[in-house]
Structure 1
């Protein structure tokens, strides 16, 4: 890293998370073709290895093909960092909503459990 690119101080948790996302993207984008885009094969590997828990339902090639088609906004048969970020954003939003659903569901169960013991 050149001196002009170094940060002034220690990174925050969010900054570290952003660096990790960039690093993971490059781990997969450098495998074949353009070093700064993902091919369909690279996307499939990234999903299988890095998003296995959050995208459990994406197992078959048809799903990968559809995700790739949806993300490839300029239809150049490769995904830029920005195009891949659309997938990451969707996964983060869905995960956030799922966590709230689970919290609400747990809270309702606890509340119902307390009512049963109070009667």
Structure 2
């Protein structure tokens, strides 16, 4: 992706979400080895720091190992960006399913606001 696209301010929530996924992946990738993949340690750090409130105890070695094995489609011991996006898609679907169980007047956590109703999320 050209730098000019990434340097522009996102004009929509989806553009912002895409930029944040890319930036977050690259914030953690490359600290150990290949700069375009996440090692087990990098994945553990990303899950703990960025998804801790959604995933609970991401420091659990067995849990991270299972996620790593499930994601590592090519069995190279690392998670590339495509494999990372598969994880994020699966987590997003799971969160959507969870949120849909609540009535719209109940409050839910979203990344856009501290608290929003389902109706606000749909806007």
1:65 aligned to 2:65?
A: yes
Greater helix share, 1 or 2? 1
TM superposition shift of 1:9: 8.3
Deviations 1:69-117 (A, max 9, x none): 00000000111100011110111001111111122795xxxxxxxxxxx
Q: Distance in 2 between matches of 1:99 and 1:40?
A: 30
Aligned residues: 105
Aligned to 2:115: none
Classify 1:19/1:103 alpha carbon distance in 2 versus 1 (closer, same or farther; 3 Å): same
Aligned to 1:98: 98
Secondary structure at the counterpart of residue 53 of structure 1: helix
Gaps of 5+ in 2: 107-123
Q: Distance in 2 between matches of 1:16 and 1:29?
A: 20
Higher normalized contact order (CA 8 Å, seq sep 6+, divided by chain length): 1
Mean CA deviation greater in 28-37 or 9-18: 9-18
1:87 aligned to 2:72?
A: no
Could you tell me the TM-score, scaled by structure 1's length?
0.77
TM superposition shift of 1:26: 0.2
Aligned to 1:42: 42
Aligned to 1:18: 18
TM superposition shift of 1:60: 1.0
Aligned to 2:109: none
Flag the structure with larger Rg.
1
Aligned to 1:6: 5
Superposed CA RMSD: 2.5
Classify 1:56/1:27 alpha carbon distance in 2 versus 1 (closer, same or farther; 3 Å): same
Q: Is the 8 A contact 2:39 2:77 kept in 1?
A: yes
